[in-house]
Structure formats: C-alpha cells, structure tokens
Structure 1
Amino acid sequence: MKKILVTGGAGYIGSHTVVELAQAGYEPIIIDNFSNSQESALAGIQAILGREVPCHRIDCGDAEALRQVFKAEGTIDGVIHFAAFKAVGESVQKPLAYFHNNVGSLVTLLQVMQEVGATNLVFSSSCTVYGVPDALPVTEATPTKPANSPYGRTKQMCEDIVHDAAAAPDNKVHTILLRYFNPIGAHDSAKIGELPLGVPNNLVPFITQTAAGIREKLTINGDDYDTPDGTNVRDYIHVVDLAKAHIAAVQRLLDRKASEVVETFNVGTGHGNTVLEVVQTFEKASGQKLNYSIGPRRPGDVPAIYADATKAAEVLGFKTTTSLYDSLASAWKWQQTLGK
C-alpha cells in the first residue's frame, strides 16, 4: 500500500481524510502535536477502521523530528499538509503565532521533503486567499486580493512559497493546492467530527452547542452585509466530501497526471448560503429551535464568497454529493453523541 503522511491528521479535516485514505487502500500515517486537536480522534478513527493508524506526536516545525519520521516510516509516497492554526478571528488577535506556525511549518516540511526525496504534496489552502472578490463565484483564475485576516495572509504566503520552491532548479516536489471553502458536518458513524477546543470559532459547532444547551445563544456577526438577508454568505461543504477531494488529489499526483508542477483547485459545492439560511436549515434538520441574536460584524470576515467548482469536476474528477440539510443533520448527530 502507498504510504501517505498526514500532518494534522488528528484534526477535524485530517481525521476524516485519514479514514477515507485507509478505505481507499492507502496506508495513512498521522503527524500531530495535539495543540489544536484531541487524542479522542485517534480512538474514533480506530473504531471506524477496526485498526490503529500510526501516529507520531511531533510538531511540523521541528525539522529533526520530521526527518526521524521519514526515516522510521521508509518510503513516503505522498504528504497531505493540514497542520495549521485556522481561525480567522483568532488570527486577528494572534497574528505572529499564525505566521510562525502556518508559514514556518510549511517551509520546514518542504525542506525536509527535498532532503529525503519525497515528491508529492497536497497542501491545505483556503478560499480566504481571494480576499474580498470583485465577482462571484470565484474561479481558480480569480485574482487574489489583500487578505482580510492574518490567517488568509498565511495561506497566500504559503501558496507563494510553494510556487517559488517549485521554480527552483533542484525542486523535486509536485504540489496540488486545494482551496477549501467551509467544511461542516461529521462522519456518518458519528465516531469523528469537529471538536473545537473551548469556545468554537466556526459557525456550525457553535450552532450545535447552542442547540445542546452548552452555549446560551448564537450571536450572528452582522446582518447589514450586501447579501440576500444581510448575513455572510459562505460555501458549506461536507467534511467527508472534502476528504474525498484529497484522495483524488493524491491519486492524480501518484499517477503523474498533473499538467503543472503546482496545480490549484477550488473545493466547494459551487453555491453559497447565508448564515440565516444555515440556522433555518439546521432547525429543520434537527427539530431544534435555536436561540440566536444579531451582533456586530466580526473583524476579518469577508461579506460573501463561494466557489466555481467546475475545474475540480472536470480535471480532478471530484464533485460534492452531500446537501446542506444532510451535512447539518450529521453535525447534530455528532453533537448528540458527544453529549452521551
């Protein structure tokens, strides 16, 4: 089996991708320092797969520790790099931590990959690289404008670093950049899902925690945007669909089908929903009435963004299959499981 190293593999998207990799016939190997994830995800992965997945508890910014992982595991056929801080609002409060962790870990990983001869990388990028776009939906050719947050800037910087490294004469690494939109939901088994540490930064876990009585109410950040109902518009993709996009990307790299040393794909559903639409759909999917109110805008938030997913469908062979309703139903099922 082909070995795929998954940094941040115990995190939300990482854990679902590890499961999909294993079920697709790959041998995933997890790296995680558990600074933004919980070890219970490993038990969830094991419960779904019926076996443990190797996990190295190291920081991706530690070059020597990374070298030891590559040495211990032998031939690594591909790397999926998730490990990063990911909250827009938090990045405004802690910009230096975001630059140090997100940018630094990628540089270290690329250096070690070049040293050991690892040649295939799937990088976890973000729709935040588009800033506030002039037109919607955004395509991969949409100009990247100044990011609205330090988090978005780290993803822009990381994409630039990948392109610059790929242009170097000694480059061996082929990369696919996946620009995610907004992952939500949980595995159908309810064995793994989103596990925010402390107060959630993302909309859906805050919704489910409010419905479960853990949070008193949901505050919607602004209702005066130029959108259909005044609330932010985002492209919400089920996390298992997103995980499957990584399988398609890994296979494309291994098959050497990439037309360029660095390729970029949007990974979204191709349409947007407002925050209020998400709230109303959750109420239908869960049968719960949600306590919410309108608050001020949140620093760093883009008014509206959603994907043109044509390239991923035509070139990567990837399309989403899960509706917003079903995604939110799975998130509620996961929350109820946590409550038990």
Structure 2
Amino acid sequence: MAGVPVRFGRVVGAAGLAVIVLLPLNGAAAEPQPTIAQARAKLEKLNDLAGKVVDRYNLANERWKKIRKDYGRLNKDYKQQQKTVDLLRDDLVRLAISTYQFGGMSSGRLVTSDDPRSVLSGMALFDYMAADRAESLRTFETANQALKYKYGKAKEALAEAGKARDTLAEEKAKAERMVAQQTRLLRRLGQFRAGDPNSPGIAYTGPASGNARVVLQFAYKQIGKPYQWGATGPNSYDCSGFSQAAWRQAGVELPRTTYEQWSWGANRRVPLDLSQLQPGDLLFSKGLGHMGIYAGDGKMVHAPQTGDVVKVVDLDDYWWGRLAGAVRP
C-alpha cells in the first residue's frame, strides 16, 4: 500500500526454492519515515493528481445525470404514447362492435326494404364509419411506430447510462484511493483539518463591486467549511463546485467541472496579471487540476484539497507558478 514502508527479504531453502518473506514493519528492519519535506512533496503530487481524477469523476457524474434525465424524459414520453395507443385501440374495438351490430349493407336490402331512404342513410353512415375506422387504423399505426422509435431511444439512453456508471465507478475508486493516501499523509504530518460544515465564514471587505461582490460575499461565508471531492455545497465543496456555487449567487450558471469551466470561458480569458485581474475572476492551475476565485488585493479564495478547508491565500510565487490562466464570467 502506498505510503507504508515495507522491506522484503529472500530466503533460499535447501532445495533451491526462493520464498518471499515480509519482515516486520517496526524496529531496525523498517525503512525510515519520510522527512517533512519528502512528505510535503509527495502530498503536493497527490493533490494535483487527485484534483484531476476528481474532476474526471465529476465530469462522468454530470454526464450520467444528463443521460438519466434524458432517459426519464423518454420514458415519460413512452408512457404517454402508450396511453394514446390504448385509447386508439379502444376506439377501434368500439368501431368493430358498432359495425358488427349495424350489419353489412347490400343492394338487395335496398330493393326489398320498405324504407329505402333509411337504408341509404345507413349505408352512408356505414361508409363514414369505415372511412373513420381506416383513418383510425392509420393513426394507430403511426402512433405505434412513434412508440417503437421512442422506446428504442430510451433503451439506447439506458445503455449509455450504464456505460457512464461504469466509468463513474472506476473514477470514484481512483479518487477514493487518492483521498486515502492524502489523508494518511496529512495525519502523519499533523495537518489534517476536518473543517466545520456549519462554519459562518467571515465578511468580505475587499474591493469587489456589482456581481463580483455578491459572489465574494457568498464565497467568504463558506470559509472554514471542509473540502470534499464531488461536493457542491452547502456544507462542503470541491474547487469547481465552490466556484459554481459562488457565481450562481449572481445568476451565472457555470458548468460543473474545472475542465468545463475553462472551456466555457474560452472567449472570456483575461491576462494572468495582477494589474488586469478583477475580483470574481476564475483562476485555473496548470493541467486544470485545481481552480479558485480571485478576491482582489492579490488574494484567492478556494476549496483546496482533501484534509483542508475553504480559505483565502496570497497569490505568492508558489501560486503564480502553478496558475495557467484566468476567466472572467
């Protein structure tokens, strides 16, 4: 298991067969614990990798939810169409019964009838019923074809949903393994922060105005709440879920994932320069494994990674070295 020091020894028996023996993890046989610097370096790599895996998970999840929604709509159409077909079938049954009860018309009946006019009237009614029945049959056939088409589409959507779930399960398992490694490292370093899901946050006093101020007032009230991969609030967030929730307060609906938000902002990019950034701008890391919101005065508010909380950081050399670009919603 990653992060656990292990040493193997090889013992050769008299017959020349090699046996692998696991030595004890404590005492002189155990490998030395990583230094703080080594643990931090490993944690940083895990954070970046986990961020990308989590974003792929979120993307798969959004795709699955969309497919599920489409399937639900198609299934609803299917049921509605079935009602139409059932009604047409009832009408056809009634027409058949009426025709049977009325009886067939013939020229003999017209000649022998004491009231030819009534017979002619009946024949006209019969012709009308026959024509109406034919039209009903055509309508029934059309409805039935439409029903089969919609049912086929529903089955296709269901199959796609199954594939999406499989992808989702794989990405989720990867993300969970990453999170477990991060948690172990953070606890070993004594830096695991559980956060407070009910944190009241702090007041925003920066330079933002208009929609950006609404966004940052909301964002600052989330400070202290835990990071949780796949979370979109209100008690915990991941990085893109945090920016999405914040901008929603200003009536702007961002896509769910970091990759999608970066693509969405293709025509909204702004220079990565403190003199040109404005409060509320979205900041993206290289590789798109992470993102945050520019808060003005050289600061960023974000949901960092597992074992940490929503917080404000200075855009120092470390963060500038990690950033790839900015988008203005």
> Which has the bigger relative contact order, CA under 8 A and spacing at least 6?
1
* Greater strand content: 1
- What's the TM-score, normalizing by structure 1? 0.19
Q: Identify, as 1 or 2, the structure richer in helix.
A: 2
Question: Larger Cα Rg: Structure 1 or Structure 2?
Answer: 2
